[in-house]
Structure 1
Amino acid sequence: MSSSDTAAQIIRPSSLALAVALGLAALAGGCFRPLYAESTASTVGGSVRSALRSIEFPEIKGLIGHYLRNELVFEFDGGNEPDAAKTLKFDASIAESIEVVTVDYANGRADSAVLVATATWKVTRNGTGEVVSSGTNSVREPYERSSQRFATVRAARDAQVRAAKNLASLIRGQIAADLTS
């Protein structure tokens, strides 16, 4: 048996496996349904996109809560559509803590820190109070601390804004997935 005969035997089974894998992928490709498409049905009626637009976002306490609410309003509505009837209500509480990562022992100051922001939230139907989606999401945002007080304050504020943006993205994806029927 020559080496070309061995190569032919090796290629044939792998070619068959590749053809089978491509065939299965083509069949499964028809099962894909975009989450935010108008044709994706929602558990609360209508499409997921219209259900997301029907969520009311009241004020959330705290600085991260303020930024989170603004990000959620933008991500869910975007300001592109006229106001839809608000049939769902979002409610959240935010907890934040700071973890000190490194300390400069020469002067006793923290060189860097990590802001840990946790949002516990739920979406309920207006009127009935039925919970249609709920969850807890947590993000960690590092920032540098400086000997200059205002630089540290600004870095902490920037970490809070980043945390709110990341929480809003996580919450939007989870609510959309929960509302898909």
Structure 2
Amino acid sequence: MSSPELSRRPAPTRRRLFALAGVVLLSGLTAGCFRPMYANSTNEAGTGLQDQLGDVEVVFAPGRVGNEVRNDLIFALTGGAGNPVGAPYRLVLNVTDNTTAAIIDPISGLPEVEMITVDSKWQLFEAGNDKKPVMASNAYGKASIDSGYQRFARARAIRDAQNRASTVVAQTIRTQLAVYFSTKGGATVSPNSASTLVTDPTTPVIGTPTSARPRN
């Protein structure tokens, strides 16, 4: 015996059936329109994105923090395979870092929390053309520390924060390069608010890469 509620439930109208069919059709049409940026896409020559990222030689960067960013970037681009020899692209880094007080003790006037920032301007060159970058951008990373009043503990904390911020910078540059290689030959894009894709580069060169192979 059926309940009164079920017997009074209206049957699906023709309009609802058409709407449902439209949703199913639209889902099928758009299913292939979305692709993760890090999918192993290929360019016109049939080279995968990961292979293109591995074709970037990262030029030696001076300073401890600069070398930290470089090492992290090489690992991020190659997965630990090391800096490529004779790569078709060369990437030049210009890394700076600074420490600023975020919270100051009102009694002692000493910083309680400090913010460490690592900033890297970089340019990508095709091999054999060190004066005209194909892409120029910058990336930065931040990390905070509890200052304390012990000098050596603070120095170590700053070093660790610089390393963490350098990793963020390296991952950001990898993302920017992935966007460039994924859209190479297409319209100008901005990987993030601080990056610039150079289609007809006029950006001054950060530093002319040396012809010698950089140290790994």
TM-score bucket of the superposed structures, by smaller chain = 0.7 to 0.9
TM-score by structure 1 length? 0.80
SS at match of 1:147: coil
Root-mean-square deviation (CA, aligned residues, Å) is: 3.2
Q: Is the 8 A contact 2:75 2:82 kept in 1?
A: no
Name 2:140's counterpart in structure 1: 138
Q: CA separation in 2, counterparts of 1:151 and 1:19?
A: 66
Residue correspondence of structure 1 range 80-159 to structure 2 within 5 A: 80=81, 83=84, 85-129=86-130, 130-159=132-161
| TM-fit CA distance, 1:16 | 6.2
How many residues are paired up? 178
Moved more, 75-84 or 110-119: 75-84
**Aligned pair in 2 of structure 1 residues 79, 21: CA closer, same or farther (>3 Å)?**
same
SS at match of 2:108: coil
| TM-fit CA distance, 1:80 | 4.4
Would you tell me which structure has more strand in proportion to its own residues? 1
| TM-fit CA distance, 1:36 | 4.0
Residue by residue over 1:15-38, the C-alpha shift from the partner in whole angstroms, topping out at 9 and shown as x without a partner, is 866664454343222133444444
| TM-fit CA distance, 1:115 | 1.1
Q: CA separation in 2, counterparts of 1:135 and 1:20?
A: 44
Residue correspondence of structure 1 range 18-33 to structure 2 within 5 A: 20-33=22-35
Q: CA separation in 2, counterparts of 1:20 and 1:126?
A: 52
Would you tell me which structure has more helix in proportion to its own residues? 1
Letter in 2 for 1:136: N
Moved more, 25-34 or 124-133: 25-34
Q: Is the 8 A contact 1:142 1:159 kept in 2?
A: yes
| TM-fit CA distance, 1:111 | 0.4
Q: CA separation in 1, counterparts of 2:79 and 2:155?
A: 30
| TM-fit CA distance, 1:179 | 1.3
Residue by residue over 1:66-108, the C-alpha shift from the partner in whole angstroms, topping out at 9 and shown as x without a partner, is 1111111111112348956411101011122222111113222
**Aligned pair in 2 of structure 1 residues 153, 12: CA closer, same or farther (>3 Å)?**
farther
Letter in 2 for 1:178: Y
Letter in 2 for 1:161: N
SS at match of 2:60: coil
Letter in 1 for 2:142: R
Moved more, 165-174 or 28-37: 28-37
Residue correspondence of structure 1 range 36-75 to structure 2 within 5 A: 36-41=38-43, 46-75=47-76
Q: Is the 8 A contact 1:132 1:179 kept in 2?
A: no
| TM-fit CA distance, 1:62 | 2.0
Name 2:179's counterpart in structure 1: 177
Name 2:191's counterpart in structure 1: none
Name 2:79's counterpart in structure 1: 78
TM-score by structure 2 length? 0.69
**Aligned pair in 2 of structure 1 residues 12, 155: CA closer, same or farther (>3 Å)?**
farther
Q: CA separation in 2, counterparts of 1:15 and 1:169?
A: 48
Moved more, 111-120 or 97-106: 97-106
Letter in 2 for 1:76: L
Letter in 2 for 1:59: F
